[in-house]
Amino acid sequence: MDISKENYELYAIDYLEGNLSPTEVAMFMAFLAEYPEIAREIECLKPQATLELDRPTKNNFNNLKKDLIHLTVNEQNFDEMCIAYHEGDLDNQASSKLINYVSSGKKHQDRFKIFGELKISADTAVKFPDTSTLTKTKTTNVFLLRTFQVCGIAAAIALLVVFFTRPNYRSQLPVAPIAVVNVQPENSHHEKPYIINKEHRPPSVHPIDKKPIVGKSRTSLKKKAVITQKETQLAVYDTSSTGKDKIILIAGIKAQGIPSNYKEPVLNWPHETGQKTPSPILNPGIKEIKQRGHHFLAKASTLTVTDIIKGSVKGINRLTETELEYDAITDKNGKVIEYALSAENFNVRRKTRRN
């Protein structure tokens, strides 16, 4: 950077303090050679700068003597010395020298006094108009406060929207039909189906319970069912072992969706063959039904044989996915005198005991 009249003072202090590099000193000296009046000004500042830098120390008495010798106050440096004095930049020795010089003439005294009055004092009547706008009363983060406010408003709006647009769930609740089992008295001429609600169709039987009825004697069915006059037992037996035409009936449909009070009675025709009640082999799945069957037993005496047969046929069809058909011959009084059960490969006709 070149030294000019606009910036020489920045270099002057460093020059006087010996902080310029050799190159900069050479530049500054060249500048001073070009401007003699500035060179005289710098020359006047030299003793002052020397006084500020070379302050006497306990171990540098020679330097102290040297400073005392070179300390001079003159017309050229009087203003700077006065400024330095009033700024507090002079030590005691320099100050005393200046005071001695000032006391030598009234002109110096007046000028020295004026320099002392050049301090600018603030007008305390001038005040900030409204300091209350600067003070803070809360430590709440304004940003967070605004965020909470916005979230609160948004939550309130969202609640209002949900409240006024919520669906009517009550109208969507299903009305499940209730299956009613109607038990008819034994001598009733009017035979009604077990289930009043004909539209209630139990769902399909679980595949594990479905067994086909094959032919007259052969069957893969391993389950047995028996019913007696006195009580209803749920048992299973295998007709194949007897080689006889047996009706394999399974009581109690345990399938999903069937109401707990829905029962299908079982039928056993061991009496036709004279066979004693076979040993029941209870299927574990039917055991539970047997327990429920105790409730059914209480009503068994009100069932007619026809009711039992029809229910049994229905149960067989559902379990085995066959279309076993029931046919009955009644007398003039409406009582059944002969039964017939037939399927594709199955045909059984029996007369009632009375007959």
Choices 4-12, 56-64, 146-154, 271-279; region in contact with another protein by CB under 8 A: 4-12
DSSP character string of 4-56: -TTTHHHHHHHHHHT-S-HHHHHHHHHHHHH-HHHHHHHHHHHHHHHHHHS--
Instruction: Show the tokens assigned to 145.
Output: 């406060």
Regarding 83 and contact with another protein (CB under 8 A), the answer is: yes
- Cβ atoms of 230 and 213 within 8 Å: the answer is no
Choices 81-89, 227-235, 255-263, 298-306; region in contact with another protein by CB under 8 A: 81-89
Counting Cα atoms < 13 Å in the Cβ hemisphere of 21 gives 2
- Cβ atoms of 342 and 327 within 8 Å: the answer is yes
**Residue where the block lists tokens 């400024």:** 83
- Cβ atoms of 3 and 31 within 8 Å: the answer is yes
Report the site for another protein in 61-80 (rule: CB under 8 A).
Answer: 79-80
Q: Which of 58, 136, 170, 230 binds another protein (CB under 8 A)?
A: 136
Regarding 110 and contact with another protein (CB under 8 A), the answer is: yes
Helix (H) or strand (E) holding 346: strand 346-351
Regarding 28 and contact with another protein (CB under 8 A), the answer is: no
In one-letter notation, the amino acid at residue 103 is: S
- How long, in residues, is the chain? 355
Q: How far is the CB of 80 from another protein (least distance, A)?
A: 7
Regarding 115 and contact with another protein (CB under 8 A), the answer is: yes
Q: Which of 21, 23, 92, 137 binds another protein (CB under 8 A)?
A: 137
DSSP character string of 84-109: HHHHT-S-HHHHHHHHHHHTT-HHHH
Q: What residues have CB less than 8 Å from 283, skipping those under 6 apart?
A: 223, 236
CB-nearer residue toward another protein: 128 or 163: 128
Regarding 129 and contact with another protein (CB under 8 A), the answer is: yes
Q: How far is the CB of 15 from another protein (least distance, A)?
A: 11
**Residue where the block lists tokens 């067989």:** 316
Choices 66-74, 131-139, 216-224, 310-318; region in contact with another protein by CB under 8 A: 131-139
Q: How far is the CB of 50 from another protein (least distance, A)?
A: 15
Cα 270 off chain centre by: 67
Q: Which of 22, 58, 127, 198 binds another protein (CB under 8 A)?
A: 127
Q: How far is the CB of 161 from another protein (least distance, A)?
A: 37
**Residue where the block lists tokens 């327990």:** 291
Q: Which of 3, 12, 94, 234 binds another protein (CB under 8 A)?
A: 12
Q: How far apart are CA 15 and CA 312, in angstroms?
A: 127
Q: Which of 87, 191, 325, 331 binds another protein (CB under 8 A)?
A: 87
Of 308, 287, 313, 311, the C-alpha closest to 233 is: 287
Regarding 272 and contact with another protein (CB under 8 A), the answer is: no
Q: Which of 1, 33, 69, 118 binds another protein (CB under 8 A)?
A: 118
Q: CA of 260: how far to CAs of 61, 159, 179, in Å?
A: 122, 44, 9
Choices 68-76, 111-119, 208-216, 342-350; region in contact with another protein by CB under 8 A: 111-119
Regarding 199 and contact with another protein (CB under 8 A), the answer is: no
Choices 93-101, 119-127, 247-255, 328-336; region in contact with another protein by CB under 8 A: 119-127
Which residues bind to another protein, rule: CB under 8 A? 6-7, 9-10, 12-14, 17, 79-80, 83, 87, 89, 110-111, 114-115, 117-124, 126-129, 131, 133-139
